[in-house]
Structure 1
């Protein structure tokens, strides 16, 4: 059951006017929703469009829902952003915007959204949650703890005649009631004084006893944090809390609030002024004051500020407390970094609110002014410490093919040979004819001074030149100067490719670099291709068996640049030949055949035919046959296309409309249709074989040698005969023995008027075409009777071509016609 409108309204109004710190998020939520006054809240409750039938949905945000603060420059930081010139950009600390990632993770913003600004010093310490700095209640209190209403005392009394424990709480009048001793007033006393007073009061009623007084539960106090803080208001906190704790509870000063003049007001009087810089800079917390009930902590507006940037240890914006000299400010920032230029510190200052001026100051050390010329820092000053000159002095650089190329100190009288010896000497493969010294001239341009490393190492004094500051000495390797020469190997080796030619490298060395020969390598003959400049290339035969097995090295030639060694590969005995058997065989599947294995042998391995097999109807396909058929088809189609184009052009040129021209146009159209039909046909690559009983088939002319990719499908014994073409009902008829064409044509209604009865033919189940005297021959299982149409002008050629071409290519392409 949800709370009623009245209860919610009362709760919201109560929390809104309450000073409790935990209501701040609720206040902000109400402000975000535009609920500023009591009237606004009442209107929200009466709104008929409210999702919960008029009940407000204002809830206290949980910690999980709270989004992280986006750090943006404050008003004061914005001032220094405008004042910092482009030349100072490298020395300004980068403050990055943050954004919320998954699961509340705070991620850095994209690079283009980053903003550079100097941060105000000291304010980040208050970003942590207030509970992190809350005083603990379960520690012993000190003797100077001030007792007040709500504090609890635990009194232990023991002796020969007594053993008692009393739990006593200071009431609102500031007293406790001791058994047998009466009321004792403790408000305002220190704990040490209260303990003595309790002991004295009990001693009047007990003799020969011991007593121990400790603090139990401590009271809470009500204090106020006002001024320039993030969450001003009233707070109920532990009586052990200090001024620092109250600031943490209120979120700390805003960036327009002072860190150096925090005031503690008690009984309408300022009893203490705290400078938080003492704590932030040196960790001094001695001035922190314990709070009492109804104390007020007030943070005034920030005072004068100055920005410090560049090569210092803690760049930022610092608040100035009274008259602050430059030396004191430099101590605050931790001094100058080792790379800071102390001979010139620049101050940008606004003069009388009218103009900008630049002052240059020189330091003796990182934080002390030279010659005592200390100056007072003004409000708004920007102090920049520039870096020292990045140019290095008193060194030379050694590059190249030496033991330790690097930068070296330019010692007095240092020469080239001594520098190379310092670097561990030259390495093998050094180019000894020339090395170089790159040297600055007076006009800052570089000149090249060459020397001969070979003569230098042999003691030639002329080559051992004296070095100057910033000289760069380069010792080259042979590979940098001389072109790399290669030899090549390919074929039956484990790693084909180019290899760098070494001195006196031989054929056996090249084979070794190629990780040896493959098992399929031909040992009888390899070929070495050699380039002979100015002549024809030379090819040398190499017997690898003699060279690598028998150890005869007369053909182990020394290689030259550009040589190419070819190793032949024996593939005839490694090449796999696969055939797929499907249909009515006992063990269908893919079989691997040896180099000369025939079809009958594979069929025997497959267990022969099944009982339902029809070997005469077998379909055997071969990839090589398919390729030939496709090429033949393509040539025929190209010839037809050429004829169509030529005849079409001829018709267009005549421009006549007589009957002969119309017939010619029809012929062109038919050829175009034929090209389209042929282009749609999938050539199967069928090869007709007479597959019979395995014993009779074995070693017959049809028992062919297997090729890779062959396929044999043996169907079941067919039970029908197909009749197609120019008949009244093209269909399949149940097979009857000893029947001829007349019987089956009668069953389909006979031939049509446009049938060419003189050209009727039979396509046998094996794929063979029987066209001679077909009328008088018996029809067998699976045969197809084809009745072609007589070719007349009005005949639909496309239909005829579609019917006949399908039968032709699916059953008879690549087969031999038989005459009977």
Structure 2
């Protein structure tokens, strides 16, 4: 669409000029790099490529137009592809570098010179140390790093925003005429639209500046812009905002001048300065001064307690925020929801301070509050009742403490023991006597012991006393009902509480021998059934029951128990000895014994390993079976069997015996009876002899027929200095041992067989032996004493 206004004509005529400027720039690049033999793009530096990219962006041409212009100047498709790759690389690297905070959805950005808070952690520690750990109410508001009160750039520009130097305004014209302008407010307060006179906008609101700029555009050729029916509209938005300088004075943590965004608020500036000083500053009298006039007073309690941000106004350049000294502070501790130090303004009462603390805690004593107040010379204590809260006026330095209710009940009574619903009950009309309490507990259990019940009662001096009475007579009306008092505790005993726990025991050849709780009318058959029935080897025709003797007698009985015997079949039918068929009932503490059949035996087995014809596990078939019988059952020994090394292990221990003697003389005492889990191991002949203990070189050597005991010791380097030579012994491979024998001056060493181990014991450590220093000291003492004695004698 062709337009007749001046600005559109200017834009239309400037297009060919920009294309020519781009071609001239590309040609200049070509002249600089024409002498190089390699690609012209490769010779461009990153700075040249970046400048080319910026100029191409500023020209307003599309990528297709730029590529066509480059190809007309002699650039190839390869050169263009290389240029595109280099531009993408430079754009990627530039995007990863730190820049100013930018909001992409609006195109608006913060100024880069804004002040930043960097010592929040140190400030937090300082605040926590204030007043011995009791926090100042409101101080934590400025310790939270996530609550910086920074303005949100995603919101629409407020209509009351005042435009100033360094702000950037974007104008989008659409409809019958189009255009786009990015205007920056100059230091003298104007914006410059191309081909038009400057427009003064500083000090105007964004709404007023929009009207003035649109009015100037109408004068410059955009006829009817922004008017109804013209078909042309304009949208004026604030893109980049300026920074302003704010000064904070008075009792702030870090007073000074700060640079903030022009959208910044009072809370934002207070956060940068660390907030009011918790030790001296006021959180309720913060003045915003503009043009030497207080325009707003901030009370931070309104925001903290009610989230009221009416006083969080937007700041302007050169505004001053002054934090005054606090006038009245009080401490409120104890059973309140927010114990802290609170600031009090004139006209506020103690009830107001209690509201600051969130009110009383759940278990607070509300009847009175304890006050400690400073006087001219000392402290004074006072009590504020609940009725005085609305009128009592706190003073500077007051300390209030809310106590806790007592761990007592004003109307509790208790019932425990053999009642249907034991527990706590309220002493109230209709529940004031023992009979009424038992009725409220839904009566007695069937096991209740009614001959005696007790009441534990608290006296006036806090001591306790016991009241006993016959509960049965009381319930039947034979005695008067007993009135109850606060804190009374009634206990109704159970008959089970007054006797030993009843049980019966079954032992012997049953599947689950156990002790179980006694129940009435339990027979022996019942108990055997609960025990899982008979084991396979049980002898049912011999059951014994041992019973305690309960009846007292005039003399001492010789028998300690009563014993009953029964014959029971596998179907648990009991017949008393003698042919009667009466059912025998168990009594508490009876012990039932189920015997095992004399000929019943579980399988027992032994294991034989090594050089035998048929090694493995074998069952012991006879109580008289011995080692020699087992060797016959396995088919005898193999030719390479080494009988001197045969070992018999029983319950993990080696039984020292000689298989050669057993084979040669089966009637010898070494031919042991076999037992369950015995293991007989018959190895091959070992050709090794080992030396251990107090020898210079403990080692193993091959067996030599002509070697004696001393020869093997020589192989190990002989004895050490601490060796007990006369205690040396040999351990043979079958587990037997032989020691050194000494008679007068004659020493007899044991014989060494293949597979033996020669052991020389060490001498025990002499812990009582004197050191050389101790000997010298003793000799010196004896010499001194001797000289003294000689002098005495000579005198």
What TM-score does the superposition give when structure 2 sets the normalisation length?
Answer: 0.63
Distance 1:795 1:547 in 2: 74
Aligned to 1:118: 134
**Secondary structure of the equivalent of 2:386?**
coil
TM-superposed deviation, 1:19: 10
**Secondary structure of the equivalent of 2:154?**
coil
Which stretch has the larger CA shift, 387-396 or 205-214? Answer: 387-396
Deviations 1:594-628 (Å, cap 9, x if unpaired)? 44377688669978755x5247657253549x99x
**For the structure 1 residues 154 and 606, does the alpha-carbon distance in structure 2 shift closer, same or farther, using more than 3 Å as the test?**
farther
The answer as to 2:218 corresponding to 1:190 is no
The answer as to 2:584 corresponding to 1:566 is no
The answer as to 2:712 corresponding to 1:684 is no
TM-superposed deviation, 1:340: 4.2
The answer as to 2:607 corresponding to 1:579 is yes
Aligned to 2:169: 153
TM-superposed deviation, 1:581: 0.7
Deviations 1:318-356 (Å, cap 9, x if unpaired)? 11234543343334334445654454333211112x121
Deviations 1:211-230 (Å, cap 9, x if unpaired)? 22222233333334444444
Q: Mapping of 1:513-592 within 5 angstroms?
A: 513-514=530-531, 516-518=533-535, 521-533=538-550, 535=557, 536-538=559-561, 540=563, 542=565, 545-546=568-569, 548-550=571-573, 554=581, 557-568=584-595, 573-574=601-602, 576-582=604-610, 584-585=611-612, 591-592=617-618
Deviations 1:192-244 (Å, cap 9, x if unpaired)? 21222222222222122112222223333333444444444444333222111
The answer as to whether partners of 1:547 and 1:556 remain within 8 angstroms in 2 is no
The answer as to whether partners of 2:503 and 2:516 remain within 8 angstroms in 1 is yes
TM-superposed deviation, 1:263: 2.9
| Partner of residue 328 from structure 1, selected from 352, 369, 378 | 352
**For the structure 1 residues 258 and 435, does the alpha-carbon distance in structure 2 shift closer, same or farther, using more than 3 Å as the test?**
same
TM-superposed deviation, 1:69: 5.4
The answer as to whether partners of 2:566 and 2:574 remain within 8 angstroms in 1 is no
Aligned to 1:437: 455
Aligned to 2:442: 424
**For the structure 1 residues 592 and 279, does the alpha-carbon distance in structure 2 shift closer, same or farther, using more than 3 Å as the test?**
farther
Deviations 1:446-471 (Å, cap 9, x if unpaired)? 443334333445x3252543333333
Aligned to 1:349: 373
| Partner of residue 133 from structure 1, selected from 129, 132, 149 | 149
The answer as to whether partners of 1:148 and 1:174 remain within 8 angstroms in 2 is yes
CA RMSD of aligned residues (A): 4.5
Q: Mapping of 1:716-727 within 5 angstroms?
A: 716=684
**For the structure 1 residues 572 and 323, does the alpha-carbon distance in structure 2 shift closer, same or farther, using more than 3 Å as the test?**
same
**For the structure 1 residues 221 and 601, does the alpha-carbon distance in structure 2 shift closer, same or farther, using more than 3 Å as the test?**
farther
The answer as to whether partners of 2:149 and 2:271 remain within 8 angstroms in 1 is yes
Aligned to 2:419: 402
| Partner of residue 499 from structure 2, selected from 467, 482, 500 | 482
Deviations 1:247-288 (Å, cap 9, x if unpaired)? 223333332122112233445554433121122223221111
Q: Mapping of 1:667-706 within 5 angstroms?
A: 684-688=656-660, 706=674
The answer as to whether partners of 2:349 and 2:393 remain within 8 angstroms in 1 is yes
Q: Mapping of 1:721-740 within 5 angstroms?
A: 732-733=704-705
**For the structure 1 residues 484 and 173, does the alpha-carbon distance in structure 2 shift closer, same or farther, using more than 3 Å as the test?**
same
Aligned to 2:315: 291
Q: Which runs of 5+ in 2 are unaligned?
A: 1-111, 224-229, 551-555, 690-701, 708-731, 758-795
Q: Which runs of 5+ in 1 are unaligned?
A: 1-17, 26-62, 79-116, 369-373, 628-681, 722-729, 736-764, 770-785, 812-820
**For the structure 1 residues 142 and 485, does the alpha-carbon distance in structure 2 shift closer, same or farther, using more than 3 Å as the test?**
same
Aligned to 2:398: 381
TM-superposed deviation, 1:138: 1.4
**For the structure 1 residues 125 and 576, does the alpha-carbon distance in structure 2 shift closer, same or farther, using more than 3 Å as the test?**
farther
| Partner of residue 745 from structure 2, selected from 794, 797, 811 | 794
Distance 1:520 1:271 in 2: 106
The answer as to whether partners of 1:508 and 1:556 remain within 8 angstroms in 2 is no
Deviations 1:454-503 (Å, cap 9, x if unpaired)? 3445x325254333333322112222223323333333445544433333
The answer as to whether partners of 2:165 and 2:185 remain within 8 angstroms in 1 is yes
Aligned to 1:164: 179
Aligned to 1:218: 241
**For the structure 1 residues 603 and 803, does the alpha-carbon distance in structure 2 shift closer, same or farther, using more than 3 Å as the test?**
closer
Distance 1:278 1:428 in 2: 66
Distance 1:268 1:587 in 2: 118
Which stretch has the larger CA shift, 298-307 or 275-284? Answer: 298-307
Distance 1:400 1:718 in 2: 78
The answer as to whether partners of 2:685 and 2:754 remain within 8 angstroms in 1 is no
The answer as to whether partners of 1:720 and 1:733 remain within 8 angstroms in 2 is no
**Secondary structure of the equivalent of 1:178?**
coil
Deviations 1:169-209 (Å, cap 9, x if unpaired)? 22333222224443222222112212222222222221221
The answer as to whether partners of 1:308 and 1:384 remain within 8 angstroms in 2 is yes
TM-superposed deviation, 1:125: 2.0
Aligned to 1:248: 271
Which stretch has the larger CA shift, 251-260 or 549-558? Answer: 549-558
Aligned to 1:803: 750
The answer as to whether partners of 1:223 and 1:234 remain within 8 angstroms in 2 is yes
The answer as to whether partners of 2:661 and 2:670 remain within 8 angstroms in 1 is yes
What TM-score does the superposition give when structure 1 sets the normalisation length?
Answer: 0.61
The answer as to 2:164 corresponding to 1:174 is no
The higher relative CO (CA closer than 8 Å, separation ≥ 6) is in: 1
The answer as to whether partners of 2:457 and 2:487 remain within 8 angstroms in 1 is yes
Distance 2:383 2:663 in 1: 110
**For the structure 1 residues 177 and 686, does the alpha-carbon distance in structure 2 shift closer, same or farther, using more than 3 Å as the test?**
farther
Distance 2:629 2:354 in 1: 101
Distance 1:293 1:576 in 2: 105
Which stretch has the larger CA shift, 706-715 or 117-126? Answer: 706-715
The answer as to whether partners of 1:527 and 1:539 remain within 8 angstroms in 2 is no
